[in-house]
A and B are shown apart, each in its own frame.
Chain A
Amino acid sequence: MAHAHAHAHTKRYSGFMDWITTVDHKKIGILYLVAGGFFFLVAGLEAILIRLQLAYPMNGFLDAQSFNELVTMHGTTMLFLAALPILFGFFNYIIPLQIGARDVAFPFLNSLGFWTFFFGGVLLNLGFFTGNVPDSGWTAYPPLSTEFSPGQGMDFYSIGLQLAGIGTLVGGINFIVTIVNMRAPGMTMMRMPLFTWTAFITSILIVFAFSAFAVGLLMMTFDRLFGGNFFDPSTGGNVVLWQHIFWLFGHPEVYILILPAFGIISEIIPTFSRKRLFGYTSMVFATALIGFLGFMVWAHHMFTVGMGAVANTLFAIATMLIAVPTGIKIFNWIFTMWKGQITFNTANLFAVGFIPSFTIGGVTGVMLAVAAADYQYQDTYFVVAHFHYVIVGGTVHGIFAAFFYWFPKMFGKKLNEVLGKLTFWLFLIGFNLTFFIQHWLGLIGMPRRVYTYLDGQTGWNEMNYISTVGAIAMGVATIILLINVIITVRKPKDAPDDVWEDGRTLEWAVSSPPPEYNFKQTPLVRGLDGWWLEKRAGKTAMTPAEPVGPIHMPNGSILPLIMSIGLFIAGLGIMYHQTLVAIGGFGILVVCMILRSLIDDPGYHIEPEQLEGKGVKA
């Protein structure tokens, strides 16, 4: 390979340019956290508006159209633009560190994944500025989402998510290759931290599920914009086809959201119990089983569509089966704490609080699996209660736990514990107040996605009001968290490498924050919880697996940002039937791809003299 610049020794960009051209997994991780965090606040605000409208019967705070838009955007934003990107943020930052690697397998692609997600998210929300917001629910069932949504609203949905989905697929592929190929010497698959395992299985789910969704979205785009007939019965299509394709994606999607949370608490609970994860092998196996079974149950979202008793019972039984590996995990977490020495800081409060909250959601899931009973639950607040218990009680608890746990690793200082505990308790109380009562509301007859309800239905007024109070409490808890971040940012960096003293995995063997190159020397891993093992053997650093040498680093690139802008422009061109704009947008993409292919960028090297401290001779 010809070197265009022989042996450059410095990074090409710094400051703002560094951030928008970065291919460093740590910076991209932070970008994901910030963007995902921003969308989390947007979606949270949408939720509060929804609950304010539902606080009183026949309330006039929001009209029906606006309400349907908010309900759609709340679900879509939370799932695609907040939860998953935040989890990607943690995958990005932590996984290379946990496996002893210096970055992910494809750093350029990593950056492309972030920017396509970001611009997809912007496109999805652009409707708020043009007055055409998607309004057919995050599930977008035709014909409501096709012929009966003639404006641009659902185009922002189908094209915005298509763009954001590219980023997700790219990220999934990247993590699979990274985890398979780039583990440090000695780290066999069965010595990987469970967070890495869950990221691995999640990424496999992403590749299969998001591909299906991309196809479905393309079909919807064709029906909406190019005279397609996939979902139009009057011309030979079938509306139920969308539901199958959507849920074939949609169900694995929720496992994509929960498995990383499982991984997160499988790190935090052992750390703060000072005890290894109970039943590691079972936990790995259970995760794989959940991932696999997750593809076998999609039609439990369609029990009332009329698929027949055979289909309904098969999917009911498959759905119940998933409870088994999930239950295994719950008991393994409890027995990790058993006979441990538990410290309850904010990170562990959220991780431990996950267990009862998620279990409640899990058991209502088994109730929902009873197909014949689901005929009563389907499309009511019972379902809304169930999935918020598993997503908020599960994924969001995991996210908050991860945030408090890894924040000092990323930024060099711990978040304030007093504010953190206040956030935890307020959020826990608000969350249960909002959603527990919704089980009851669903059973007594309240359908979901209703912008209002009639007065005089016994109990509805009071229950909806209480539900709204809980939402306000969650909002306040989130604001307190924001304040916590703001005041912590101004503190000096004082966190040691092993922030929590009892760190078990490799990220706690490097500085907080880690240097650009993560490990001066790739570490040698002797077993599960490699860092813990070294500490128990009396060592103060990981045994290196290589001598100190120049470290090869990739250069940043502006191309991913520009490619994403190109796709964004192409998306707008398609939506508004502006062929030249669409061609222009795709043209930008193609030119960037050609530049990337033809221009050789060999990166730069960090020389041993530039590395901090003295290396250990291997």
Chain B
Amino acid sequence: MLVNRWVKRLVPFMAMMMLFLTGCNFELAGALEPKGPVAEKQLEMILLSLGIMGVVLLVVFVLFFWAIARFRRKPGQNEIPEQIEGNHKLEATWTIIPIVLLLIIAIPTVALTFDLEEEAQATEGDGTLVIKVAAKQFWWEFNYPEDGIVTAQEVYIPVGEKVVFELAATDVQHSFWVPELGGKKDTNVGTKNINHLYLEADYPGIYKGKCAELCGAGHALMDFKVHALEQADYDAWKADMLEPAAVTAETELGAELFGTNCISCHAIEPNGLSWGPNLNGFADRDFIGGFRVNNTENLVGWIKDPTSKDYGKPGVTMPGFEGVLSDDEINEIVKYLQSLN
């Protein structure tokens, strides 16, 4: 029956359409919400290639669905259809048109790829801010050699200025990615493979960074943040970092305990490189370990066991201090850390 036949055809089709539409009702974010010129140009290329490929998809789908709807074998139809060998004109058409479409995509691809590479070759000599990134299992070290500042997990940049990140890893391969500001580049192990990545933020804000190369158990939680500040605020941040907080009577015991237990891995001088993250300015960081909210409870939990399910993350090489230090001692250290601003 006619209705029956159309129901059988439409229902699966509608089900499929519903599935495709499930992708269409969420907020834009990441690469789809560019906050800087690099990400914007990359989104343009994404949309250009999507648009052209969308046309191809449309043509294929129209022909395809027409063919399967129109040429079904009818009951009683027994004569052999004409055995068509091919058609040279059609072959030429669907060879040449795709080549043309690909040219339209290829030319801006080449241009943008060279452009981004050229921008990334800028050095401090040109007045460009170059920040050295050292990726480690499972955190990020940021070194401003010109300014004498070493920090971790949260990197600060000025708005509207070109920044070149010099990328390297010390243990395994990682990849440095801030989707809202631009695409990623790998942090390679080995001095011959140091990479340079050009990024720029158009607006002040805090941008999420992620590790984008499987690097072990802690890969999923190796988040970092990019703080883009207006020039004045950025300069203020730098000045702040260069004036570490003084130890007070309140924090004296904590500082002492820190010196005995923590300083072998965690530097607190403004330009100190250490095995673990530099904790200068730690009190101003939003997160512990890249993703745990920086509050007292989480900090105590982290220090007790940085690999715990509730307060830590897997794969962390920092030892836990539960049982090594008393609760009071840990609280003193926490008080000290919360004074580092």
Among B106-155, those with CB < 8 Å from A are 106, 109-110, 112-114, 116-118, 137
Closest to A234 in B: B190
Check B210 for interface membership: any CB of A closer than 8 A: yes
Closest to B116 in A: A372
Contact across chains for A432 and B16 when beta carbons are under 8 A apart: yes
For residue A295, give the distance in angstroms from its CB to the closest CB of chain B: 19
Contacts of B12 in A (CB 8 A): 425
**With the chains together, A429 CA to B20 CA distance in Å?**
10
Closest to A458 in B: B27
**In the complex with contacts A373-B183, A376-B184, A341-B73 CB distance below 8 A:** yes
Contact across chains for A372 and B42 when beta carbons are under 8 A apart: yes
Contact across chains for B72 and A342 when beta carbons are under 8 A apart: yes
Check A447 for interface membership: any CB of B closer than 8 A: yes
**In the complex with contacts A375-B42, A376-B46, A341-B72 CB distance below 8 A:** yes
For residue B311, give the distance in angstroms from its CB to the closest CB of chain A: 12
B290-307 CB contact bits vs A (8 Å, 1 = yes)? 010000000000000000
Contacts of A615 in B (CB 8 A): none
**In the complex with contacts A68-B214, A68-B217, A356-B64, A372-B113 CB distance below 8 A:** yes
Contacts of A466 in B (CB 8 A): 22
Contact across chains for A449 and B214 when beta carbons are under 8 A apart: yes
**With the chains together, A410 CA to B137 CA distance in Å?**
53
Among B17-72, those with CB < 8 Å from A are 19-20, 22-23, 26-32, 39, 41-42, 45-46, 49-50, 53-54, 56-57, 60-61, 63-64, 67-68, 71-72
**In the complex with contacts A63-B314, A281-B86, A536-B80, A372-B41 CB distance below 8 A:** yes
Closest to A276 in B: B83
Contact across chains for B60 and A359 when beta carbons are under 8 A apart: yes
**In the complex with contacts A328-B94, A447-B210, A306-B23 CB distance below 8 A:** no
Contacts of A449 in B (CB 8 A): 214, 219-220
Contacts of A428 in B (CB 8 A): 16
Contacts of A137 in B (CB 8 A): 214
- Listed stretches B95-103, B237-245, B254-262, B326-334; interface member: B95-103
Contact across chains for B91 and A239 when beta carbons are under 8 A apart: no
Check A439 for interface membership: any CB of B closer than 8 A: yes
Contact across chains for B56 and A334 when beta carbons are under 8 A apart: no
Contact across chains for A375 and B182 when beta carbons are under 8 A apart: yes
Closest to B80 in A: A274
**With the chains together, A327 CA to B53 CA distance in Å?**
11
Contact across chains for B183 and A320 when beta carbons are under 8 A apart: no
Check A478 for interface membership: any CB of B closer than 8 A: no
Among B142-185, those with CB < 8 Å from A are 167, 171-173, 175, 177, 179, 182-185
**With the chains together, A375 CA to B31 CA distance in Å?**
10
Check A61 for interface membership: any CB of B closer than 8 A: no
Number of interface residues of B (CB under 8 A): 100
Check B202 for interface membership: any CB of A closer than 8 A: no
Taking a contact as CB atoms closer than 8 A, the residue among B86, B193, B215 that contacts A306 in the complex is B193
**With the chains together, A504 CA to B283 CA distance in Å?**
76
Contact across chains for A334 and B67 when beta carbons are under 8 A apart: yes
**In the complex with contacts A239-B193, A338-B71, A436-B19, A144-B53 CB distance below 8 A:** no
For residue B60, give the distance in angstroms from its CB to the closest CB of chain A: 5
Closest to A450 in B: B220
**With the chains together, A457 CA to B179 CA distance in Å?**
14
Contact across chains for B188 and A445 when beta carbons are under 8 A apart: no
Among A445-492, those with CB < 8 Å from B are 445, 447-454, 457-459, 462-463, 466
Closest to A306 in B: B195
**With the chains together, A143 CA to B28 CA distance in Å?**
36
Contact across chains for B71 and A458 when beta carbons are under 8 A apart: no
Contacts of B216 in A (CB 8 A): 68, 144, 148
**With the chains together, A379 CA to B222 CA distance in Å?**
14
Contact across chains for B49 and A367 when beta carbons are under 8 A apart: yes
Contacts of A331 in B (CB 8 A): 60, 63, 90, 94
Contact across chains for A313 and B109 when beta carbons are under 8 A apart: yes
Contacts of B45 in A (CB 8 A): 370, 372-373
**In the complex with contacts A313-B109, A371-B109, A444-B192 CB distance below 8 A:** no
**With the chains together, A280 CA to B39 CA distance in Å?**
44
**Could you tell me which A residues sit within 8 Å of B by CB distance?**
60, 63-65, 68, 136-137, 141, 143-144, 148, 233-234, 238-240, 273-276, 278-282, 304-306, 308-309, 312-313, 316-317, 320-321, 323-324, 327-328, 330-332, 334-335, 337-344, 352, 355-356, 359-360, 363-364, 366-367, 369-376, 378-380, 425, 428-429, 432-433, 436-437, 439-440, 443-445, 447-454, 457-459, 462-463, 466, 536
Q: Could you give 5 example pairs across A and B, Cβ below 8 Å? A: A327-B94, A344-B68, A375-B185, A436-B23, A458-B26
**Could you tell me which B residues sit within 8 Å of A by CB distance?**
12, 15-16, 19-20, 22-23, 26-32, 39, 41-42, 45-46, 49-50, 53-54, 56-57, 60-61, 63-64, 67-68, 71-74, 77, 80-87, 90-91, 94-95, 98-99, 102, 105-106, 109-110, 112-114, 116-118, 137, 167, 171-173, 175, 177, 179, 182-186, 188-193, 195-196, 208, 210-221, 223, 291, 309, 314-315
17 more CB-based (< 8 A) A-B contacts, given A330-B60, A450-B219: A238-B193, A273-B71, A279-B86, A304-B175, A305-B186, A306-B195, A313-B113, A338-B71, A356-B60, A359-B57, A436-B19, A444-B29, A445-B210, A449-B220, A453-B220, A463-B23, A463-B26
The 5 closest A-B pairs by CB, nearest first: A375-B183, A233-B190, A445-B30, A459-B26, A450-B220
